[in-house]
A and B are shown apart, each in its own frame.
Chain A
Amino acid sequence: MTTPRLLSALLLSAALLEAADDTERMNRLEQENAELRRRVEVLEGGQGGLEMAIEGLLAEGGDEGLGLNLTTRRGPVKAMLQVFGDVGFSFDDPPPADRSHTSFFLGGLNLFFTAQIGEHLSILSETVFKTSVGGMTDTGAFDQERLSATWTFSDLLYVKLGLDHGPVSRWNHLYHHGRWLETTIDRPFLARFEGAGGILPMHNSGLEAGGRVRTPIGRVEYVLIVSNGRGRTATDPQKYSDRNDGKAVEFGVSLAPDALEGIEFGFHFRVDDIPEIPGDVARARSIRELIGSLFVQYHGDRFEVIAEFVHIENRDRLSAVDFGHNSGYVQVAYRLRPEWLPYMRFDARSMDVGDPYYMPLGRDLDRWETLFGVRYDAAANVAIKLEFGFGRGERRASGLILTDTLFRLGLQVSWVF
């Protein structure tokens, strides 16, 4: 091998080695570059998260919701907890059985939980710690008032399975156990719960389908429910099981016309078969129950009006006698200032005496009441209500039906957070 050839070979080898070094260096630089890019992205992401956290913290002082605004979101789950509560004082004349005229009362503590899981599934739960007044001592216990799972296909159709408050009373559908939401201290006669002297089924354990549609005249909402129906007595809502195969079926329709913003009205119809009571000769056969109800409500800037009327037709299959019952109320409120809301309500029920379903509990007796009160919103989520009512009510004494003049005074503090 000659010297020039040797030199050329050496130079070529050196050049090849250098090129290999350059390639290696380039690869290393590209790797470093990619790593740096990754780190920048991580830092930018972190900065975004930090920015979100700081802005979120700043927003917390922004009064975005009522109370603590206990909302959390993790992936597809968005959950919210709200707590309602109320306490108060009442004066009743005549006093309730085995009680004094005046009582401080514990209304209830309501734990309301709702969760949206994805776009179509939602869960709702309402658990109330409430007192049961009666007997030698009062008792308190947690009670599951609502527990349901809803699959919403679209605005036109949802399907709900579980325990819910029935919409046969509009009041029941609007306010549930949230006393803070109610304008008044207590519910009207037709919307009282089964365990508190009520005459309507306030709970439904079953399957519900419904939806809403926008029409040229306004928003129409509709609902169809199949449920366990009522139990053997008017105090048994059959939340957990059914004592007969005859299910309650109900449907309702409401309209919120575009031309009259704030107004909504509708009707509801329900049919049920109330089971017989084994061993009770007066209830040896079932009772067929038909219920029809109407409501109208208006929520304007200052005026609030809600009125309901219900007719109950109970056919005792043992005696083949029909018992017709009517109840209704009109409640009007006018907001004088943002915090002050005076209100009045006329409330009445007219019952056919002797209905074997209502008579053992004295719920087949007439009653009316006129109520005046004022609600003061001490804070965005705290209401203080003071009201007095007077009226007339029937009661049984030694086989006779007597009529008393009724007077009551109430004070309530209710809240949500």
Chain B
Amino acid sequence: MRWPPLPAWFVLALCAAGRGAAEPAPGAAAEEVPTVLMVIVHPENPVTDLPLSELRALCKLERQFWASKRRCALYLPPSKSDEYAVLLDRVYRMTHKKLQKYWVQKLFSGDIPSKPEHVPSAKLAVDKVKEEPGALSFLVAGEVPKGVKLVTIDGKKPGEKDYALLAIPPKKGAEDEEP
């Protein structure tokens, strides 16, 4: 059977597109520094490690309580921050707009009593976690501030190989583009 020439051209075009995508433009790699997040909780929280799936469930409020029966109070970074962009990419796997609709839907269904708060700065995130035994928040990876505890993800600390919470934040203004 003689196949029409279109599939061959199509495959060649796909290969070319794939090669093009695999080779970043010169100089681009230098700019694309990934943001690495660390997860912090109150020191009294017995949790020391979370699988990514559990963190996702906590962040989407599909799971709202710690094993200690204390409610998990989630404090998110500001919506325009790189930290939040990493969360959207690696944890929520949706755009900011979709996440906002998700919260409205969850609230309206009665599935959650309130939305998570966005804290405007890392200092306030640390303060909230210090104050509330059930709190969970995120910081750009670095020195762990006094009064809070680092939680590893899938047994890995920030900076270790295959650590889950790192991503290259999208360029500003592109956050709500469809994947």
Contact = CB atoms under 8 A, between A and B. Distances in A.
Contact of B108 (A62, A122, A154, A176): A176
By secondary structure, the B interface counts as loop
Contact of A338 (B78, B114, B178): B178
A55 interface: yes
A146 B108 CA distance: 11
Interface residues of A, number: 51
Contact of B69 (A51, A112, A114, A153): A153
B110 A150 contact: yes
What range describes how many residues of B lie at the interface? 35 or more
A173 B109 contact: yes
Given A55-B121, A119-B71, A114 B113 contact: yes
A28 B79 CA distance: 52
A416 B121 CA distance: 28
Contacts of B45: none
Contacts of A219: 57, 62
A23 to B, nearest CB: 38
A367 to B, nearest CB: 28
Interface string B81-102: 0000000000001111100110
A337 interface: yes
B143 interface: no
B110 A164 contact: yes
A124 B29 CA distance: 50
Nearest to A126: B108
Interface in A128-166: 146, 148, 150, 152-155, 160, 164
23 contacts: A59-B118, A62-B118, A63-B96, A64-B78, A66-B100, A73-B117, A80-B114, A82-B104, A82-B107, A112-B108, A116-B114, A119-B134, A120-B71, A154-B65, A155-B65, A174-B109, A212-B63, A214-B57, A258-B53, A261-B93, A302-B178, A338-B97, A380-B97
Interface of A: 51-52, 55-56, 58-59, 62-66, 71, 73, 78, 80, 82, 112, 114-116, 119-120, 122, 124, 146, 148, 150, 152-155, 160, 164, 173-176, 178, 181, 212, 214, 219, 258, 261, 301-302, 335, 337-338, 380, 416
